[in-house]
Structure formats: structure tokens, C-alpha cells
A and B are shown apart, each in its own frame.
Chain A
Amino acid sequence: MDRQIYILVVEDELEVMEALVNDLEQFEEFFPIESANSSEEAKQVVKDVYAAGNEIGLVLCDHVMPGQNGVDFLIELQANNAQHEAKKVLVTGQAGLEDTIQAINNAKLDYYIAKPWTKEQLEEVVTTQLTNYIMERKYNPMQYMMILDSVRLSEYMRTHKITDH
């Protein structure tokens, strides 16, 4: 597969970012991980990823960060044509009700993980969201069966007429 699907982790606290990236290690073989410590850096990373002909499949984003906050970053991402299909997950302990409503309404937030997370929970959410992404983008599900939700991908293949040649 030439076009790579990236996972983007946006988190300002370096220890937390490291922990997140470490927990996502098993996905890296299929979905390269990029990280950013601020919304501004994240935007640059997004730009670079797309410029290299790749795409962002999932964004895990903290909310409270210096500069632009996570929800506003996600809203901006949603407004961009190329990137609005990326799955968006808030990983935060501090987004209030209003911010969360904003994120759901204007950034089509896909999931909210409250800190502290567990590895199992994180993996489950990432698996589900990336599976959704693959199916929505109509990518060949076979190459992701091993890492993502294979039952759902099989079901997808069953109903989407992948045929023998």
C-alpha cells in the first residue's frame, strides 16, 4: 500500500505523549504514528503528511494545551476538506461540557477518552475508530484484518462483494 494512514497524537505534556505513543506501539506497523506537542505543530504535521501523499486516519488530541486548545484544533481540522474524514478522539481530563458539546457538534468528535486511560481501552477505541475509517474510506480491508476489528472487516467484505478472480 503506497498511501499510508497515520495516527496523529497531539499532547503537550511530554510524559503523557510518550505514554500514549507507547501504548499505541502495536498499531505502528500498519499505521505510522506522528506526534505533536501543540495545535500549531499538529497543523504542520498534518500538512506534511498530506504533502507526502499520505493521510491522517485518526487524531488523538488533548484538550487543554498552550495556544489553541484541542477542541478548536479539531474543529479546524473538520473544516478542511482533505482531513475531515479523519477520526477524532479527545483524550483529556479537562474538557468541560461546553467544550465537549462544541467538539461533537462542530468537529464531529468520534470518541472521548477520559484521562487516565487504560491500555485496553485505548486500544479498543483506536481499533474501532480505525476500522470505521477503513470501511468509510472503502479501503481494502484485508491488509488491516490482523490489527483491526477482523470480525467487522469480514462482515464488511461479506456485504461489499469482494469477489474471486
Chain B
Amino acid sequence: MKLNKKQLIGIAIGLIGLIIPFFFHLEGLSDAGHVALGIFFLAAAYWMLEPFPIYATSVLVIFLQVILLSQQGFLFPESTAEYSPNNYTEFIGTLASPIIILFLGGFVLADAAVKYDLDRNLTRILLSPFGKKPGSILLGLMVVTALLSAFMSNTATTAMMMTVILPIMARISKTDPLRIGLALSIPFAANIGGITTPIGTPPNAVVIGALSQQGINIPFGEWMILATPLVVIALLFAWFLLLKMFKPEAASVEIDMSGKFNTSTNAILLYLAFGATVLFWVTESFHGVKSAIIALIPVVFLSLSGVITKEDIRKLPWEVLWLVAGGISLGISMKSTGLAEWIVGSIEWSAFGTIALLVVFASVSVLMSNFLSNTVTATLLIPLAVSLATSGIAGDGFNLIIVSLVIGVSASMAMMLPISTPPNAIAMSTGTIQTSNMAKAGISVGIFGIILVVIYALFYWPFILN
């Protein structure tokens, strides 16, 4: 392992962040709170500067909490008046928390879908009604991408859609702005589409994880009711924007996708599992079986039937689960040590109105996740928002669920830079678009996203939740 200068600096900043709270006494913060603050600094530094992979930082966070803050750790074996330490199983338990299991189910389904080309075949079928006009093709691509990325990883969806649009782009004149529009449409749609379901993208998991710690369960279907209208409008806006910014010159576009559905027994088992699982997820509110429990169905069924093999399981993106678990785990000690409350208390929130607070959270979330991992952004911001809401300082309108949603959704609205999200990076790597193209369109979508999220937070979400 060779470290470059940037990595070394990152490591140093993190370590300093970890140690500093040990040397200063902060008024109103417990001793354990100081330790938690150190861990928070370290995590923030490592997640932002990435001297280590972010999933590695996540397990480091869990480990530090276990050895420093748990009942079994070195510092706080006994409960005191200001801190009753969590059992270490609470920290490591986050690795198997319901949202993680829900994601696992999603991963297994998506993995099997890719294995049996379900994603590609669905794309082929779903695109066919959109005709040949550039505008409608663009819309079709975006709708399909959003739909797939609601259930699959945004990145995997983008990669698959790239195999669809690259041949199209090759047939379009090099000077036609449609090429840029096409190249941007996929990552934009994938990013936005991820918001649709709890398993669409990891920030959603962070939101759900944080809320469940507060005893709030958001059923799968309810999340979709909350998110889908926003997704549809954001998607339409992005489509309209791309069409206006990059006016197509070509009169018609040929999509050349051939193939047929895999009809092997395994593939059919997969289709059934996929359909049944999604159906049960969406109808959670009716039957009441928790989505995480439903998520076990495909895991059990597909591995029993041999549709997914040992090799497939090995290749699942486990590091995403670590990342989310680390974030949830950090929230636990921030709350139990009183750190979150202290941070919230040390800022004069009442100076802001509810709207202003929502705008600030949405903007900070979009801004941060443009530069950082969306999940990290959600992980760092949500504990604050949760404490703020539960403390009641920000007033009644500042609902816990709504503010978490604002942060989670806003994190997915970041698509300004190639580094903002992996889908953006993939689109950029094709070499068809300039960073400026992406920035212009991405900023517009981001600003529109902030406005949209705030409007929803003020009107639509309270209406649904009540």
C-alpha cells in the first residue's frame, strides 16, 4: 500500500480531528459526547477526503465506536448520569439492520436480473412504444432508466443503458447536440430514478435507517407514494431541459436492440421472484409485512433454487452495505452521547424560519453530495436534522420524516460534476460531453430539485403523512 501526499494529509487531518475533542472541554457536552465528536470528525474527514475507500472508513467507524463508546469498550464500562453506553451489539448490529437486509434483497434481485438479461430485455420492450423522434426517444430512455434504477443500482443501470445508447450515438453526426443530450439523459435519469424506492439508492437507506432508530417505519409503498410524483416531475424537467439545451438536429433516431427473453427455468423463476417481491413491497401498507422481511424472499428463493450461485453471492456489492451500516451506526452514538443534541443546541436555529431551514438543508445536501458520495452526505447531515426535529427547537413544522426526506432526496439531486455520482462519471468517460455541458445542465436540475423538494416538503409530504 503506497500512500500519496494527498492521502497522507487526509489521514493526518482525520487523526487530528479524532484527538482534538480530548483536549478541549466543550460546555454542555458529555465526556462520551467528546469521544463521539472525535469519531465524527474522523469519519467526516475520511469520507470527504477519501484517504481510504469510504466503506473502509465505515467499518472503522463501527470499530471505533465499539472499542471507545460501547459498554464493552475501554472508556465507558459503567453507566453514568450523562451517558449510559450502548451494548456493542447495537453498533455491529447495524450490519444486519432491516434496511441492510432490504438492500441485500434488492442486490440479489438486481444481480439475478443482470445475469439473465432481464434489465436489457425490459429496456427493449419498454423503449419500443417511444418511436423514432429524438425527443420521444430521449424521454423513453429517461423513463426506462429511471424505472430500472428504482430497483437496481444507478450505476449498473447507467452502464447497461450505455450499451444501448452508445451504438445510437455512433450513428448520429458528431456535431449533433443530441449526442450530448443522450449522454446526459442516462445519468440524470438514473440519479433521479434512484429516489423512487427505498432500495433505489443508498441515501434512501440512510434516511430509512435513521428514521427506524426513531421508531418510525416507512413502508415501501408509502415511500414510493412520497417520492414518485417528485421523481416524475424532476424527470420531465430534466428531459425538457436537455431537449432545450441540446436541440437535436437529427430528424429520427434508430434504436437497434435485438434479443429475446431468456426462457430457461432459472430465468422464469427469477421473473416470478422479481415480480412477486416488487408486488409485496409495493403493497406493504396493505398486508403489513415489513419490506425487509419480504426482501428475504428473493434471497432465500433464488439461492435455494440455484438461480444465483455462490459466485454470484460473492460478487454482490457488500461494500455498499458496510457503508450504509457505518452511517447508521454513527447516528446511534451521536444520539446516545448527546452529541447531536449539543450540536443542535449550540446553533441559534430559531433565527431561521421553517422554510429557510428546509432550503438550507436541501441546498447543503445538494451542494455536499455534488462533491461527496451521496450516501456520505446523507449520513453526515441526517443525524443533525433528526436531533433538530426531535428537540423541537425548530418548531412544529419541522417534521422529522420530512426533513430526513429533504436531505435524502436532495442528495440524489446532485449531478453537476463528473465526480458527483458514478453514473455521471460513466457518462463523462465516454468523451462525448464536456464538463461544462454537464455542469450547466446539472446546476439547473440541482436548483430545480431544491425548489421542488422544498415545495413538496411544505405541501405534498405533510398532506400524505397526515
Q: Measuring CB to CB, which residues of chain A are less than 8 angstroms from any residue of chain B?
A: 2, 142-147, 150-151, 154-165
Contacts and interface: CB of A to CB of B under 8 A. Distances in A.
Contact of B373 (A143, A146, A165): A165
B155 A163 contact: yes
A145 B418 CA distance: 14
B163 A161 contact: no
Contact of A163 (B162, B317, B425, B431): B317
Nearest to B160: A158
A145 B423 CA distance: 13
Of B114, B163, B431, the most chain A CB neighbours within 10 A belong to B163
Given A151-B166, A155-B159, A164-B153, A143 B421 contact: no
Contacts of A147: 431
Contacts of A164: 153-155, 194, 201-202, 320, 374-375, 421-423
Give the secondary structure class of B's interface.
helix
A165 B202 contact: yes
Contacts of B156: 157-158, 161-163
11 contacts: A142-B426, A145-B431, A151-B163, A151-B166, A154-B160, A155-B160, A157-B159, A157-B162, A158-B114, A164-B201, A165-B374
Interface string B402-430: 00000000000000000001110110011
B422 A161 contact: no
B302 to A, nearest CB: 16
A163 B422 contact: yes
B122 to A, nearest CB: 13
Contacts of A144: 429
A144 B430 CA distance: 8
A150 B428 CA distance: 12
B392 to A, nearest CB: 33
B430 A157 contact: no
Given A142-B425, A142-B426, A154-B426, A162 B166 contact: no
Nearest to A162: B155
A163 B423 contact: no
B442 to A, nearest CB: 16
Nearest to B53: A165
Interface in B62-106: none
B315 A143 contact: no
Given A145-B426, A150-B166, A163 B153 contact: yes
B323 interface: yes
A2 B7 CA distance: 14
B162 A151 contact: yes
Given A151-B162, A155-B163, A164-B375, 12 more contacts: A2-B4, A142-B426, A151-B166, A151-B167, A157-B155, A158-B114, A158-B163, A163-B155, A164-B320, A164-B374, A165-B54, A165-B374
Sorting the interface of chain B by its residue count into under 10, 10 to 19, 20 to 34 or 35 or more gives 35 or more
Contacts of B375: 164-165
Q: Interface centre among B155, B201, B315, B319, by most A CB within 10 Å?
A: B155
A158 B157 CA distance: 7
Contacts, number: 86
Interface in B146-186: 153-156, 159-160, 162-163, 166-167
B376 interface: yes
A61 B162 CA distance: 34
A141 B156 CA distance: 13
A151 B166 CA distance: 6
Interface string B355-387: 000000000000000000111100000000000
Contacts of B160: 154-155, 158
Contacts of A142: 425-426, 429
B111 interface: yes
B26 interface: no
Given A145-B431, A164-B374, A154 B319 contact: no
A146 B427 CA distance: 10
Contacts of B166: 150-151, 154
Nearest to A149: B166
Contact of B430 (A150, A159, A162): A150
The 3 closest A-B pairs by CB, nearest first: A146-B431, A157-B159, A154-B162
Nearest to A154: B162
A147 B171 CA distance: 17
Residue from B55, B153, B156, B375 having most chain A Cβ neighbours under 10 A: B156
A111 to B, nearest CB: 23
Contact of A165 (B2, B315, B422): B422
Contacts of A165: 54-55, 202, 320, 323, 373-376, 422
Contacts of B323: 165
B316 interface: yes
Contacts of A146: 429-431
Contacts of A161: 111, 153, 156, 315-317
Contacts of B4: 2
Interface in B297-323: 315-317, 319-320, 323
B386 to A, nearest CB: 21
Contacts of B159: 154-158, 162
Contacts of A145: 426, 429-431
Contacts of B315: 160-161
B148 to A, nearest CB: 11
Contacts of A156: 159
A67 B115 CA distance: 50
A142 B418 CA distance: 11
A165 B425 CA distance: 12
B155 A143 contact: no
A143 B431 CA distance: 10
A3 to B, nearest CB: 10
A145 to B, nearest CB: 4
Report which residue of B159, B166, B431 has the largest number of chain A beta carbons within 10 angstroms of its beta carbon. B159
